[in-house]
Amino acid sequence: MPERIRRTGSRDRLRLGYPDELVADVLAYARLDGSPAIEVGAGSGRATMKFVARGVRITAVEPNPRLAAVLTRRVAGAPVTVAVSTFEDYVPDRRFGLLFSAQAWHRVDPAVRWRKAAEAVTPGGVVALFWNRERPADRAVNDEIRAAHQVYAPRVPFDRDMLPDPPPWPGIHGLAHRDSHVYRWQVTMPTVDFVATLATRSAYTALPPETRSTLFADILGRLDNEVQVAVDTELYQARTR
């Protein structure tokens, strides 16, 4: 992998955040009135801190001990309990007015995730799932990246994120009244950081190291120093019966 990409740092530094408007909309829909929330796949706390800033008490479930340690340091002094566990194995000692998951729900076992969600949320509570889909805003930049893929990794769909389709609501495990919204925004990133975000995706980690390194070097050679990135943040919510 090109040295510049290795130096870009952790996945946490590269990961984009989420719009303030989304958090406001989730809380308006959930109407917590002091009830706590549970977060599934909290990671290092990008979404967690957005909800903490709005005064929400959170149980943050994160299976990766390293990320959980980062999260614990980040939320020190805040009303957040960090549980190092998969959501599949986690047994809550109470029910919550809101379950939310940012960029992580597709990693939970589909055989149990909806049942576990319904069990974790109070009657009338809300399940809110959201994630970012990112792509270069400039079509010419897209074309250059696609051309590099055609040479070195033609089977990797760089411009289609490996994220879930919209949840199969309503009616699944007691969830009803579906609500959804897409928040569109843009951010300027150093090109080396944008390419490094590709390096974190499973489609690229599965490539032979030499192929991956050559592909990324070619992309870096084709583009300017910065990339304008278009982001669609997709939100799906449902209320329990």
Q: What is the pTM of this model?
A: 0.87
Question: What band does 14 get if pLDDT is binned at 50, 70 and 90?
Answer: confident
Name 104's Cβ contacts closer than 8 Å, sequence gap at least 6: 40, 41, 42, 43
Question: What band does 7 get if pLDDT is binned at 50, 70 and 90?
Answer: very low
Which pLDDT belongs to residue 168? 64
C-alpha dist (Å) from residue 63 to 52, 80, 87, 100, 232: 20, 16, 8, 16, 26
Contact between 116 and 190 (Cβ < 8 Å): no
Whichever domain contains 152, its CATH number is 3.40.50.150
The pLDDT of 60-64, averaged and rounded, is 97
Got the DSSP string for 79-131?
A: SEEEEES-TTT---SS-EEEEEEES-GGGS-TTTHHHHHHHHEEEEEEEEEEE
Which pLDDT belongs to residue 182? 95
| pLDDT > 90: percent of the chain | 73
How many Cβ atoms from other residues are within 10 Å of residue 58's Cβ? 25
Asked if residue 50 has pLDDT above 50, the reply is: yes
Which pLDDT belongs to residue 4? 55
Cross-strand partners of 53: none
- Among residues 165, 36, 159, the alpha carbon closest in space to that of 93 is found at 36
Q: Which tokens go with 125?
A: 């509570």
AA letter at 77: G
Regarding predicted confidence, which is higher, 10 or 229?
A: 229
Q: In total, how many domains does the chain have?
A: 1
The pLDDT of 4-19, averaged and rounded, is 66
Mean pLDDT of the chain: 90
Q: How far apart are the C-alpha atoms of 121 and 96, rounded to whole Å?
A: 5
Question: What band does 157 get if pLDDT is binned at 50, 70 and 90?
Answer: confident
Which pLDDT belongs to residue 161? 55
Domain membership of residue 134 as a residue range = 3-240
Q: pLDDT (tens digit, 9 = 90+) per residue, 93-144?
A: 999 999 999 999 988 998 899 999 989 999 999 999 999 988 899 999 999 9
Which pLDDT belongs to residue 12? 66
Which pLDDT belongs to residue 61? 98
Q: pLDDT (tens digit, 9 = 90+) per residue, 159-178?
A: 665 555 666 665 666 787 78
Contact between 211 and 154 (Cβ < 8 Å): no
Q: How far apart are the C-alpha atoms of 121 and 213, rounded to whole Å?
A: 45
Which pLDDT belongs to residue 8? 41
Q: pLDDT (tens digit, 9 = 90+) per residue, 66-88?
A: 999 999 999 999 999 999 999 99
